Amino acid sequence: MNKFFERRYVVTGIFLVIMITLLGRLYYIQIVDDRYTIYANSNVRRVQIQYPSRGPILDRNGKILVQNVPIYDILVNPKDVKPFDTLKFCKLIGIDKEGFEKRMVKAIKYSPNKESIFEKQLPYELYAAFQERLPEFPGFDVLPRTVRTYPDSTAAQFLGFIGEVQDRDIKRSNGYYKSGDYIGVTGVEKFYEQVLRGQRGVKVQMVDSRGIPKGSFANGALDTLPRAGERLTSSLDIDLQKLGEKLMKNKLGSIVAIEPSSGEILCYVSSPTYDPNLMVGRERGNNAAKLYNDPYNPFFIRPIQAYYAPGSSFKPLSALIAIQEGVITPQTTYYCPGYYVAGNRRVPCFHHEVHGEVNLAKAVAESCNGYFDMVFEKLINRNGAKKTDTSFNYWRNNVAKFGLGSRLGLDMPSEGRGNLPKASYYDKVYHKGGWRSSTVISLGIGQGELLATPLQLANIEATIANRGFYYKPHLIKAIGDKQVIKHEYNVKNYVGVDSQYFKPVIDGMQNVVEYGTARASKIPGIIMCGKTGTAQKAVGIDNSVFVAFAPRENPKIAIAVVVEDAGQGGTWAAPIASFIVEQYLRKSISQRPSGITPDYYMNANLLPDLNISLQNMLKERRRDSIRAVRADSIRKVKNDSIKKAAQLKTANNNKSGGLSGLLTSRRTGK
């Protein structure tokens, strides 16, 4: 004992307090604070997404349109790389030395300890050779993946393609997609993305501090298996599609064929087209750039995006509405002197042909403009000239029931509306009360501001074939193994014309093919009812349009064909349509009395000369685009042209731009 004996308590006290402080802190971080458990878990847990295989797409007969094939990504882990024969390596996978170094630097930058993708999408042929030599290249590994492949290289615009997700996709998906994932970019791949992509699985792994996997987390309790994407059965007939694409080769235009009894689209041709396989694999980038720069714009989905004046193909619809409204009867006749006088204007018949005394059926068969101008005037003037606008809107609504001027709701992205002007539009252009039926007379024969997509045209034919209703047109007829069919595709959409009124119109359409403007396209033994259209444009050669359905009784196919810059409807569109129809109904094409053969059409090149097209384009910007309006007063013309030019400009800005953009908007027929 000494005199500082009591100091032992001070020392002991200090020691105790500090030790208890340690315990307090431990109590806090171990018991109170739960964050550390989360951190510890996120340290060791690596959630690996197990990608399901994307659903294949079949044609209506079960033939494969798209499926998956294995390709191989080469992975590298820089940590394990030891010196090796780089030259041989480069040769095996088809890259050069510079490319090798660039990839290596990128991999090291990503992580010197973790695996990353060295080269993407090695095709099987290269993979086989590389795989044999793999042991010579330590640190490299191969990861099999799948990509889309298109065995028949067909229906590109229908199928669309997949691509890596963009930032906005990632944002919109609420975290579902991660950078590097694939997503449908266009076509069916986009529209049915959620069905096709399937359900992802996850595998939760444990990793150590360097990211090296150390087995499954909690014995796989959190793991889920991926579920493959659903199989889609499309309504397309692959043989029909291939024939259509062949017939449309070297032409601009579109074919849409619909099964009237279901709304299923049988054929969906957009020309020019491209091989969808180009949008897959290592050369995808280069190929895509080439396709984007193609002035004929193969990515433009003409069946739903191109706007064409229906021209005379509109006449059956016009007639139907007139009969339903009671302004004419099938027996109403009109004397055609080769033109029609509307107000102070003379609207000529095609080639100034004098049709003489025509009734409805004959007017349809011979495509008498005069008759239908008369019909149109009767409809628009039914309540007197002062009520032009209300009568016009009434007419417009009747036309709209056939699906014009609005989207039909096809199961594809970026469907266009076409154009069906309202009275208010003309009020703006000509100020209120400043226009008469004669001003807009060209609408009566499917010209003027009236614009439709090939899909809309085909849908009108399906409606006529069904005598008064249509099923919503669609490209995917069934989803998955259970062949689920969307309910909306079983609903009849009535267009407001009684079925009894169809007969005279259909008679006329039959005559079009029997002895009328499309007589060269008559198919022996099949009664096809159709209507040619020679849709005038302000400049350049007319678009060749043909719409039809067959056979007359119990129709199996309704079709619309548009060939741009091709001239008369009977010359190009009708024969092409007849081959498609016959192929579909007979699975073969017979000898035609007229002597036409598919080969001739397949080999014809109707692509417009780009230089001329461009000049026309520029001319058009300065001119009024509607020939019929030209006779109107100069002031009106001026107003109109300024308006048009402005519209055209915005249209161009909205489209893909550049030369192809110019061409595109010109083709819409304005």
Partner 1 sequence: MSINNQRSFFFNVDWLTVLLYLALCTIGWFNIHAAVFDEKHPSIIDASTNYGKQFIYINVSIVVAIVILLLESRFLTALAPAFYGITVLLLILVLVVGRNVGGNQAWINIGGGFRLQPSEFAKFSTCLLLARYLSSVNIKVTELKSFLIAAAIIGFPMLLIMLQPDTGSTLVFCSLIFVLYREGLSPYFLVISGLLIVLFVVSLLYNPLYVVLTLVIIAALIIFLFRKHRQLIFTMLVGLAISVTFIFCVKFIYSHVLKPHQTERINILLGITTDLRGKGYNVNQSKIAIGSGKLWGKGYLHGTQTKYAFVPEQSTDFIFCTVGEEWGFAGSVVVIGLYLFLILRVIYLAERQRSPFSRIYGYGVASVLFFHVVINIGMTIGIVPVIGIPLPFISYGGSSLLSFTILLFILVKLDSNRMGIV
- Interacting residues toward partner 1 by CB under 8 A: 2-5, 7-8, 10-12, 14-16, 18-19, 21-23, 25-27, 29-31, 33, 35-37, 39-41, 43-44, 206-210, 214
Residue with tokens 């092409």: 576
d(CA 34, CA 497): 71
Give 41 or 286: the residue with its C-beta nearer to partner 1: 41
Where b means 16+ CB within 10 Å and e means fewer, 342-351 reads beebebebbe
Q: How far is the CB of 18 from partner 1 (least distance, A)?
A: 6
For residue 178, the minimal CB distance to partner 1 (Å) is 22
Nearer to partner 1, 40 or 49 (CB): 40
CB of 138 to partner 1, least distance (A): 21
In angstroms, how far is CA 454 from the centroid of its own chain? 12
Q: Which is nearer to partner 1, 203 or 522 (CB)?
A: 203
Query: What is the distance, to the nearest Å, from the Cα of residue 480 to the centroid of all Cα atoms in its chain?
Result: 22
Residue closer to partner 1 by CB (options 31, 221) is 31
Q: Find out whether 292 and 398 touch, Cβ atoms under 8 Å.
A: no
Nearer to partner 1, 13 or 144 (CB): 13
How far apart are CB 25 and partner 1 at their closest, in Å? 5
- Non-local (6+) Cβ contacts of 23 within 8 A are none
Give me the residue label for tokens 């973790």: 114
Nearer to partner 1, 20 or 642 (CB): 20
- Our CB check for partner 1 shows the closer of 8 and 351 to be 8
Assess contact for 550 and 527: CB atoms under 8 A.
yes
User: Whole-number minimum distance, CB 22 to partner 1, in Å?
Assistant: 5
Rounded CA separation 16/10 (Å): 10
Name the minimum Å distance from CB 218 to partner 1.
Answer: 11
Cβ-based nearer residue to partner 1, 209 or 588: 209
Helices (H) and strands (E) in the chain, counts: 24, 22
CB of 109 to partner 1, least distance (A): 16
The CB-of-197 to partner 1 minimum distance in angstroms stands at 33
Select 61 or 113, whichever has its Cβ closest to partner 1. Answer: 113
Q: Beta strand pairing status for 253-259 and 557-563?
A: antiparallel
Tokens of 663: 């061409």
Q: In whole angstroms, how close is the CB of 206 to partner 1 at the nearest point? A: 7
Rounded Cα gap, residues 535 and 559, in angstroms: 17
Closest CA to 512 of 503, 502, 504, 522: 522
10/225 with CB nearer partner 1: 10
CA 386 to chain centre: 43
Separation of alpha carbons 202 and 221, rounded Å: 11
CB of 205 to partner 1, least distance (A): 11
Which two three-digit tokens encode residue 447? Answer: 């010209």
3-state SS, residue 259: strand
Pairing of the two strands 232-234 and 57-58: parallel
Q: Measuring CA to CA, which residue among 287, 309, 368, 379 is closest to residue 333?
A: 368
The CA distances from residue 502 to 176, 317, 318, 496, in Å, are: 52, 10, 12, 12
